[in-house]
Structure 1
Amino acid sequence: MEMNRQEGMEDPMANKYMPMTSVLSGTGQEVLPDLYCYTDQIVNLVLVGNPDPGDHWVLVDTGMPGTAHRIVDIAEKRFGENSPPQAIILTHGHFDHVGTVVDLVEKWGVPVYAHEAELPFLTGKLRYPEPDGSVEGGLVAKLSPMFPNEPVNLGSHVTALPGDGSIPHMSGWRWIHTPGHTPGHISLFRDQDRSLIAGDALITVKQDSLYQVITQEKELNGPPRYLTTDWNAAKESVKKLAALKPAAMVTGHGHPLSGKELAEGLDQLVREFDSRAIPDYGRYVKH
């Protein structure tokens, strides 16, 4: 594990590159004027803020290992040079969501926030359960035991989110505890326009299928099967998010959704969660 001694942080993914990609990699979509979804290989991160030089903005999740330069570049194109975010918010700590967090903290010197239950996985104290290569699913699921599983250590650079649901530097937004995929997984919601950043609580691509990951074929589904350890909690989290009636949604994987397509898709996912999302078999499946 590489030690970044200057910052007192540990980054097990330093100088590593995961050879995984999709047709959306390197592209961005302005879901709303202040909500920009950027696809880093196979995972989405979100830049929240109006794209005016000097305006404040926040980064939600930090993408794949070895891609910090891309994220800095897209941020500078959107907000101007020397315009770091006010903070980094993590929906959870899996490798594809914290792949560049140490690099970005070192460059920008900004604080990181996550749910209290996720902090042990972000301070080097606990590693997540091993990905389940035996779970029902496609080739990505079979390859999942090869994914990085050592925790990053952000030390004092990561802080628990406020208990009142507010999010530092994100006025009008609130965090919602959506466990199942991980113990401290969160989603972010803005009541004013019913915008939702769901993380991996639910996704819009069948993430265990290599073909669908590469082509990004749209399919509203539950969290990635090979890394989800509590399916009862995952189901309740999807119900909780569907009850918000979001008007626009960005997920950790797949295309953003909005309007009627989102509303009908969420209703169907809630009704069919057991058959659509929960695998027929796997290490973490209890029937």
Structure 2
Amino acid sequence: MKTVFVNLYFVANPDGSWVLIDTGVPGSATKIKQAAEEIFGKDNRPQAILLTHGHFDHTGAAKELAEEWKAPIYAHPLELPYLTGLSSYPPPDSSVGGGAMAYMAFTYPKKPINLKDKIKVLPNDGSVPGLQGWRWLHTPGHSPGHVSFYKDEDRTLIVGDAFCTCHAESAISVFSNKREVHGPPAYFTPDWGSAHHSVEKLNDLNPEVAASGHGMPMRGSELKSQLDRLVHDFWMVAVPKHGRYVHEPAVMDESGVVSVPPPVSNPVPKVLAVAGAVAAAGLAWAAFSNRKNSSQQKHASQNRPYSHNRVMQGTPPGIDPNQDDPQAHTNNYP
């Protein structure tokens, strides 16, 4: 189910029990409950709510649905700071991506939500609560505790935002339903090195079907060829040329955000960005009807340097003990 610009998934077992993966944007609870009743019956509540990660467009209805259904919510432990009110996510970077969805990123909620009395940690053994034959994989980069879900039997993969099947920065692409493999949403990805490794991990599964948080599900040879290319050319086609996190990732741990790189200037004025985004959303469907098939993201110049000096995940954070309190976490990012 698509809620405005992001997908959530109903996943069933052979016996009719089911789980919900992600919960859409805020205000989606009624729509989700109605769909669940139509699919599974009035009194068939989910075994669990599973979160690929805690960004606002994936957790919008989580609290309301958990209370309504008396269902536990599961997430990776590294997502807990953002789901228990402890820490904000790193600030989005609206200077990257070049589309209306990216330009509007400065308006997107980044404050934590508090699901403290409802949230549980995914099992260490990789099993998925409420689902038979599935396993979860840690796929960080877009967020520190991002996970994807995989069913070995038929090679079905639910990827969250580890990669997208549309150009997530573009409003026209998001609303047009054209299937095309792209990297994770650039404006909300604070660790590109980890994001690359996660895409490699998912490609190694050789999925037959991939269902992402943004874009239509893809399958077969089209999926395989485009995913292979994304892995091979990741630093050319997925990573922005310039941006806040391109050469230095945000540093995060089990307590939340430790440090973030300084912001970069955005050449697009915010007022103009919002106006353009609204206009783009209104014209998206009309544009799609006359839109020619576009090619995959074009390669940047082959002379573009790679970012070998970036701090990779797992590297001790650069904290000066004489100046910084490593236990001090703030929600007041710019």
In the alignment, residue 83 of structure 1 is paired with which amino acid?
N
Distance 2:88 2:94 in 1: 17
Within a 5 Å distance, the mapping from 1:163-174 to structure 2 comes to 163-174=124-135
Q: What is the identity, as a one-letter code, of the residue corresponding to 1:267?
A: D
Q: CA deviation at 1:50?
A: 5.2
The Cα of 1:271 is off from its aligned counterpart by 1.2
Give, in whole Å, the separation in 2 of the partners of 1:97 and 1:283.
23
Specify which of 119, 122, 129 is matched with residue 158 of structure 1: 119
- Residue in structure 2 matched with residue 212 of structure 1 by the alignment: 173
Aligned sequence identity (%):
50
The separation in 1 between residues aligned to 2:177 and 2:119, in whole angstroms, is 32
Map of 2:102 onto structure 1: 141
Letter in 2 for 1:169: G
2:87 is aligned to 126
User: How far apart are 1:171 and its partner, in Å?
Assistant: 1.4
| Equivalent position SS for 1:198 | strand
Scaled by the length of structure 1, what TM-score is found?
0.84
Aligned counterparts, 1:182-261, within 5 A: 182-261=143-222
If the length of structure 2 is used for normalisation, what is the TM-score?
Answer: 0.73
Q: Name structure 2 gaps, 5 residues minimum.
A: 248-306, 308-334
Deviates more, 1:136-145 or 1:78-87: 136-145
Structure-2 residue corresponding to 1:42 = 5
When you count strand as a share of all residues, which structure comes out higher? 1
Q: Does structure 2 retain, via aligned residues, the 8 Å contact 1:91–1:199? A: yes
Q: Are positions 1:281 and 2:242 aligned together?
A: yes
Aligned-residue offset at 1:124: 0.7
Q: Secondary structure at the match of 1:192?
A: coil
Aligned to 1:63: 24
Evaluate the alpha carbon distance shift between residue 44 and residue 225 of structure 1 in structure 2; reply closer, same or farther with a 3 A threshold. Answer: same
Cα offsets for 1:26-63 (capped at 9, x unmatched) = xxxxxxxxxxxx111111111000598xx210000000
Aligned partner of 1:263 among 224, 228, 231: 224
**Quick check: 1:181–1:229 contact (8 Å CA) kept in 2?**
yes
Contact 2:13 2:132 in 1 (8 A): no
3-state DSSP class of the match of 1:174? strand
2:179–2:217 contact (8 Å) kept in structure 1? no
1:74 and 2:74 correspond: no
Match of 1:8 in 2: none
- Post-superposition Cα deviations, 1:228-281, rounded to whole Å, max 9, x if no partner, equal 000000000000000000011110010101111111111111111111110111
Q: Distance in 1 between matches of 2:14 and 2:132?
A: 16
State whether residues 13 and 131 of structure 2, in contact with CA within 8 Å, keep that contact through their aligned partners in structure 1. no
Give 1:91's aligned residue: 52
Letter in 2 for 1:137: G
Partner of 1:22: none
The CA distance in 1 between the partners of 2:199 and 2:163, in whole Å, is 7
Note the C-alpha offset of 1:140. Answer: 1.3
| Preserved CA contact (<8 Å) 2:37 2:43 | yes
**Equivalent residue letter for 2:89:** Y
Mapped partners of 2:54, 2:134: distance in 1: 21
Unaligned stretches of 5+ residues in structure 1: 1-37
Deviation at residue 212 of structure 1 after TM alignment: 1.2
Kindly tell me the number of residue pairs found equivalent between the two proteins: 248
Q: Aligned residue for 1:104?
A: 65
Where do 4+ consecutive residues of structure 1 move more than 4 Å?
none
CA RMSD of aligned residues (A): 1.2
In 1, Cα distance between the equivalents of 2:13 and 2:145? 28
Deviation at 1:135, TM superposition (A): 1.7
Distance 1:171 1:51 in 2: 9
CA drift at 1:88: 0.2
**Paired residues of 2:179 and 2:218 also in contact (CA < 8 A):** no
Contact persistence 1:51–1:79 (CA under 8 A): no
Tell me, in whole angstroms, the C-alpha distance in 2 between the residues paired with 1:242 and 1:135: 25
Is the 8 Å Cα contact of residues 203 and 254 (structure 1) preserved in structure 2? yes
